[in-house]
């Protein structure tokens, strides 16, 4: 083997990759926020909804979790236009990510809800809280707090999984890498650099999530401070 | 124009052969390397633990698609013209081994410390401790997530379509290029994946439940 690796990309190439990384962040965060909303709704349907809603949410979750996201993406990107709904690659990719993450989030949030002691709801009812207040303060927020680490690692999987949307040409990091390597024929080097960029994104996201936990959940902050003082 | 026929359906079913071969390759290969990674991860030598940790970090911190591309173009750089199944097999094996390493380490660490101490006090060597005391207990705990991860492997083999392996997704693309009936064709492809994955998902949940028989269940309100 007498091949020397060459990592000398032009500044245009770097700009494309960095722009792609930014797009990946946008796709991931958009997919997470909208997906989380879908997931919470499904989780509520599955634990306390009408029997029909239960079945709908169950079928949706099982379908998404037992088929590849690539096939889901093709179904949306190629399938919806045949029904008269025209989509750009980016829109189709976003829809696929939202509904994919939604199904995983639904299962995680449901686990969080199911771990709640029943007495808490009875206590809330006896305090005269409305149904909406009970859902908000007793069911959903504590459930999310409980499963926060799982949601965070699922989010990392979403971000890494978003590489797949390059298959339909949505503009993100892997798609940028595809076009860069198509121009300079340094495929291995370009994908190595891209992999490194994903790794940086993953580590950065982990940091953001563990910091955000302290801001979002005051109780955890108190516990964290207490353990720090004890240590 | 030709309609989607039984012949097309049958082609998709036959393409499942490659999906299954690649899945088994990744599961077995990933399992074997995964055992090694687990052992390295619980090693008493710090540097060995660090190496395994770095391996897991890199493979869990980068997309599988990039890993497949690197295997595909990396093997080509070595001057050998490999069929896509080799590149996909290598990448999926590495990917699965990192996840197995992490899953199984968790299982090993959930075994109470006195089990290690008790077996050591009986004069067992470290290998005997792991072989006769720790592993049998850890396996029970590791079973549900291991089966669950098999589902991830099957689904992830679809990425091999992007480097040209003619498995289910790739064949579906071929057929769709001719017939242009995406909802039907990708719907059937999804159904085949579902048939492969769903029983494993159910099995994983069954093992999970059997592990926590005493867990109180939530009643809806």
For chain A, give the mean pLDDT: 91
Q: What pLDDT was estimated at residue A5?
A: 81
A contacts of B190 (beta carbons < 8 Å): 63, 67-68, 71-72, 75
Confidence band of A56 (pLDDT split at 50, 70, 90): very high
Q: What's B147's domain CATH number?
A: 1.10.3720.10
Q: Tell me, yes or no, whether A141 lies in a domain.
A: yes
CA distance A36 to A26: 15
Nearest chain A Cα to B155, which residue? A68
Interface of B with A in 179-198 (CB under 8 A): 180-183, 186-187, 189-190, 193-194, 197-198
Is the pLDDT at A22 greater than 60? The verdict is: yes
Q: Tell me, yes or no, whether A68 lies in a domain.
A: yes
CB nearest A71 (choices: B78, B158, B219): B158
What's the whole-number mean pLDDT along residues A25-30? 96
What's the whole-number mean pLDDT along residues A158-181? 95
Q: Tell me, yes or no, whether A219 lies in a domain.
A: yes
Taking an 8 Å cut-off on Cβ atoms, the answer to whether A191 and B182 are in contact is no
Q: What pLDDT was estimated at residue B78?
A: 82
Q: What's A182's domain CATH number?
A: 1.10.3720.10
What's the whole-number mean pLDDT along residues B98-115? 95
Number of domains in chain B: 1
Structural domain for A23, as ranges = 11-230
DSSP B123: T
Nearest chain B Cα to A164, which residue? B65
Q: What pLDDT was estimated at residue B165?
A: 93
Q: Tell me, yes or no, whether A43 lies in a domain.
A: yes
Q: Tell me, yes or no, whether A3 lies in a domain.
A: no
What confidence tens digit (pLDDT) does each residue in B131-143 have? 999 999 999 999 9
Is the pLDDT at A218 greater than 80? The verdict is: no
Q: Tell me, yes or no, whether B160 lies in a domain.
A: yes
CA distance A123 to A138: 10
CB nearest A114 (choices: B156, B197, B218): B218
Q: Tell me, yes or no, whether B218 lies in a domain.
A: no
Secondary structure string (H, E, C) spanning chain A: CCCCCCCCCCHHHHHHHHHHHHHHHHHHHHHHHHHHHHHHHHHHHHHHCCHHHHHHHHHHHHHHHCCCHHHHHHHHHHHHHHCCCCCCHHHHHHHHHHHHHHHHHHHHHHHHHHCCCCHHHHHHHHCCCCHHHHHHHHHHHHHHHHCHHHHHHHHHHHHHHHHHHHHHCCCCHHHHHHHHHHHHCCHHHHHHHHHHHHHHHHHHHHHHHHHHHHHHCHHHHHHHHHHHHHC
B contacts of A72 (beta carbons < 8 Å): 190
Is the pLDDT at B16 greater than 80? The verdict is: yes
Which positions ≥6 away from A63 have C-beta within 8 Å? A103, B190, B194
Structural domain for B160, as ranges = 6-211
What is this structure's pTM? 0.90
Q: Which two tokens stand for residue A12?
A: 């245009």
Interface of A with B in 51-80 (CB under 8 A): 62-63, 65-72, 74-75, 78-79
Confidence band of B220 (pLDDT split at 50, 70, 90): very low
Is the pLDDT at B221 greater than 70? The verdict is: no
Secondary structure string (H, E, C) spanning A96-150: HHHHHHHHHHHHHHHHHHHCCCCHHHHHHHHCCCCHHHHHHHHHHHHHHHHCHHH
CA distance B19 to B17: 5
Q: What pLDDT was estimated at residue A72?
A: 97
What confidence tens digit (pLDDT) does each residue in A66-120 have? 999 999 999 999 999 999 999 999 999 999 999 999 999 999 999 999 888 888 8
Express as a percent the part of chain A with pLDDT over 90.
72
CA distance A143 to A115: 8
Q: What pLDDT was estimated at residue A1?
A: 55
What confidence tens digit (pLDDT) does each residue in A122-151 have? 999 999 999 899 988 888 988 999 999 999
Q: Tell me, yes or no, whether A89 lies in a domain.
A: yes
Number of domains in chain A: 1
What confidence tens digit (pLDDT) does each residue in B29-81 have? 999 999 999 999 999 999 999 999 999 999 999 999 999 999 999 988 887 77
Q: Tell me, yes or no, whether B216 lies in a domain.
A: no
For residue B146, count CB atoms less than 10 angstroms from its CB and return exposed for 0-12, middle for 13-18, buried for 19 or more: buried
Taking an 8 Å cut-off on Cβ atoms, the answer to whether A71 and B189 are in contact is yes
Please, are residues A57 and A40 in contact by the beta-carbon 8 Å criterion? Answer: no
Q: What pLDDT was estimated at residue B66?
A: 97
Of A28, A153, A5, the closest CA to residue A94 belongs to A28
Q: What pLDDT was estimated at residue A228?
A: 59
Confidence band of A215 (pLDDT split at 50, 70, 90): confident
Which positions ≥6 away from B79 have C-beta within 8 Å? A1, A3
Nearest chain B Cα to A192, which residue? B70
What confidence tens digit (pLDDT) does each residue in B159-200 have? 999 999 999 999 999 999 999 899 999 999 999 999 999 999
Taking an 8 Å cut-off on Cβ atoms, the answer to whether B198 and A62 are in contact is yes
- Between A219-223, B25-29, B78-82, B186-190, the lowest mean confidence (pLDDT) is in A219-223
Of A195, A187, A9, the closest CA to residue B73 belongs to A187
């Amino acid at each position: 083997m007498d091949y020397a690796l060459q990592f000398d990309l032009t500044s245009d190439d770097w700009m494309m990759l960095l722009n792609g990384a930014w797009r990946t962040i946008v796709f991931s965060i958009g997919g997470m926020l909208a997906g989380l909303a879908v997931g919470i709704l499904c989780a509520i349907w599955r634990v306390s909804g009408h029997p029909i809603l239960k079945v709908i949410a169950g079928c949706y979750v099982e379908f998404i979790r037992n088929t590849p996201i690539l096939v889901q993406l093709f179904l949306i990107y190629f399938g919806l236009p045949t029904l008269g709904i025209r989509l750009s690659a980016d829109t189709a990719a976003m829809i696929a990510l939202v509904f994919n993450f939604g199904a995983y989030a639904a299962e995680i949030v449901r686990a969080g809800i199911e771990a709640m002691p029943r007495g808490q709801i009875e206590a809330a009812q006896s305090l005269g809280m409305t149904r909406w207040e009970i859902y908000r303060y007793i069911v959903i927020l504590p459930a999310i707090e409980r499963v926060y680490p799982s949601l965070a690692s699922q989010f990392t999987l979403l971000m890494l999984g978003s590489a797949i949307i390059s298959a339909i040409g949505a503009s993100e990091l892997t798609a940028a890498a595809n076009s860069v390597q198509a121009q300079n024929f340094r495929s291995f080097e370009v994908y190595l650099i891209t992999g490194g960029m994903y790794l940086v994104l993953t580590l950065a996201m982990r940091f953001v999530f563990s910091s955000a936990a302290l801001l979002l959940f005051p109780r955890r902050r108190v516990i964290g401070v207490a353990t720090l003082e004890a240590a | 124009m030709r309609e989607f026929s039984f012949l097309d359906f049958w082609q998709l079913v036959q393409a499942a052969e490659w999906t299954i071969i690649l899945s088994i390759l990744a599961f077995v290969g990933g399992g074997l390397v995964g055992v090694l990674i687990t052992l390295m991860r619980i090693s008493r030598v710090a540097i060995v633990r660090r190496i395994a940790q770095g391996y897991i970090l890199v493979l869990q911190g980068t997309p599988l698609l990039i890993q497949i591309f690197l295997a595909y173009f990396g093997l080509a750089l070595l001057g050998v013209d490999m069929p896509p199944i080799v590149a996909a097999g290598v990448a999926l094996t590495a990917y699965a081994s990192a996840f197995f390493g992490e899953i199984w380490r968790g299982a090993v660490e959930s075994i109470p410390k006195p089990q290690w101490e008790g077996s050591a006090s009986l004069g067992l060597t470290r290998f005997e401790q792991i072989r006769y005391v720790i592993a049998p207990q850890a396996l029970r705990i590791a079973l549900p997530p291991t089966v669950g991860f098999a589902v991830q492997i099957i689904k992830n083999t679809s990425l091999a379509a992007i480097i040209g392996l003619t498995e289910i997704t790739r064949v579906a693309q071929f057929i769709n290029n001719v017939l242009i009936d995406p909802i039907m064709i990708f719907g059937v492809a999804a159904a085949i994946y579902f048939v492969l994955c769903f029983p494993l998902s159910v099995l994983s949940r069954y093992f999970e439940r059997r592990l926590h028989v005493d867990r109180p269940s939530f009643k809806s309100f």
